């Protein structure tokens, strides 16, 4: 007899492109992309109240727009969405967030933390060769119906600094070990890391995270018959010189109190008949199962 019931849930991660006042060629301003993003989020969570939505490059005004838009479809207060995360520049509202959205009537938030991916992880900062300040958002959530507790992590690694990406990966792995052995270690059924790693499979951050055995790539854990959509997750806006590539991931922490199974994986389209890119990245969706 299983001590904890199985728990299926969905993880959606998307770098939504920050609301720049100076769009690239081919890029539309945020006010033209906002509803397209919300349509994506509404559709992919309409039957899955257990979903975590993990976003990157979110400025505060975008955060407010997304939270308002998500909750505009809620049929009651109990169905509303909430989020954890802070702006990376000051630990409050300045700079980009890497927020995790969830529904409090499904998940009870036990703990939250923002860690700066630098030599001074407890305060806004950057180190090594990083071009920008980078963070990982961490939450411990207990599923109210089944009692499963999940360690959720969402990040966006530096686009310029190779060493900073490697050091960031090491910090993230150290946080996973810290949570496994800390206050919530006996409760955590499993964990995941989502986000834009700015690292392809043969590069430093991906190699450190998955080569260590601490994290498993959902893309590689599912049969091809259960995959849908594209492979590449970065597309640009149609005029960039860099090629399309896979740099956005949902990774599952191994060695938890329960085992994982991946039931579905998709890289969604980011442009349709209207020709408007909702972002220069595509969303990644993983349907996962914590086994009892």
pLDDT (mean) for 270-275: 97
The string of pLDDT tens digits covering residues 92-112 is: 999 999 999 999 999 999 999
- pLDDT at position 3, please? 64
Tell whether the model's pLDDT for residue 79 goes beyond 80.
Answer: no
Tell whether the model's pLDDT for residue 38 goes beyond 90.
Answer: yes
The string of pLDDT tens digits covering residues 136-167 is: 999 999 999 999 999 999 999 999 999 999 99
SS3 150: strand
- pLDDT at position 257, please? 78
- pLDDT at position 77, please? 72
Strands (E) across the chain are located at: 7-15, 52-56, 82-84, 100-102, 107-116, 135-143, 149-156, 188-196, 215-217, 227-229, 248-253, 260-267, 284-290
For the full predicted model, state whether its pTM sits above 0.95: yes
Helices (H) and strands (E) in the chain, counts: 4, 13
- pLDDT at position 88, please? 98
pLDDT (mean) for 9-16: 98
The string of pLDDT tens digits covering residues 168-193 is: 999 999 999 999 999 999 999 999 99
Q: For the sheet containing 215-217, what is the strand order? A: 107-116, 135-143, 149-156, 188-196, 248-253, 215-217
Mean of per-residue pLDDT scores for the chain: 95
Determine how many CB atoms are found less than 10 A away from the CB of residue 168: 33
- pLDDT at position 255, please? 78
- Name the CA radius of gyration of the chain, rounded: 18
The string of pLDDT tens digits covering residues 189-230 is: 999 999 999 999 999 999 999 999 999 999 999 999 999 999
Interatomic CA distance for residues 229 and 165, integer angstroms: 28
| Predicted confidence band of residue 1 (pLDDT cuts 50, 70, 90) | very low
Pick the CATH number of 7-290 from 3.60.10.10, 1.10.10.10, 1.10.540.10, 3.30.1060.10: 3.60.10.10
SS3 152: strand
């Amino acid at each position: 007899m299983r001590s904890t019931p199985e728990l299926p849930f969905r993880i959606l991660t998307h770098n939504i492109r920050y609301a720049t006042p100076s769009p690239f060629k081919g890029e539309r301003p945020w006010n033209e992309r906002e509803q397209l993003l919300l349509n994506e989020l509404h559709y992919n969570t309409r039957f899955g109240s257990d979903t975590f939505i993990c976003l990157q490059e979110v400025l505060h005004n975008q955060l407010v727009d997304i939270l308002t838009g998500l909750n505009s479809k809620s049929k009651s207060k109990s169905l509303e969405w909430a989020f954890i995360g802070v702006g990376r520049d000051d630990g409050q509202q300045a700079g980009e967030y890497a927020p995790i959205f969830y529904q409090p009537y499904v998940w009870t938030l036990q703990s939250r933390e923002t860690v700066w991916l630098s030599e001074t992880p407890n305060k806004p900062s950057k180190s090594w060769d990083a071009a920008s300040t980078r963070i990982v958002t961490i939450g411990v959530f207990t599923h109210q119906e089944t009692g499963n507790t999940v360690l959720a992590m969402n990040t966006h690694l530096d686009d310029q600094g190779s060493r900073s990406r490697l050091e960031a990966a090491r910090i993230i792995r150290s946080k996973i070990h810290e949570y496994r052995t800390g206050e919530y270690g006996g409760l955590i059924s499993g964990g995941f890391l989502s986000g834009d790693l700015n690292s392809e499979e043969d590069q430093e951050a991906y190699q450190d995270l998955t080569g260590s055995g601490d994290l498993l790539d959902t893309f590689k854990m599912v049969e091809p018959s259960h995959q849908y959509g594209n492979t590449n997750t970065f597309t640009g806006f149609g005029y960039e010189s860099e090629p399309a590539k896979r740099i956005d991931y949902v990774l599952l922490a191994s060695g938890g109190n329960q085992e994982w199974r991946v039931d579905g994986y998709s890289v969604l389209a980011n442009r349709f008949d209207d020709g408007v890119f909702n972002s220069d990245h595509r969303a990644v969706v993983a349907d996962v199962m914590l086994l009892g």
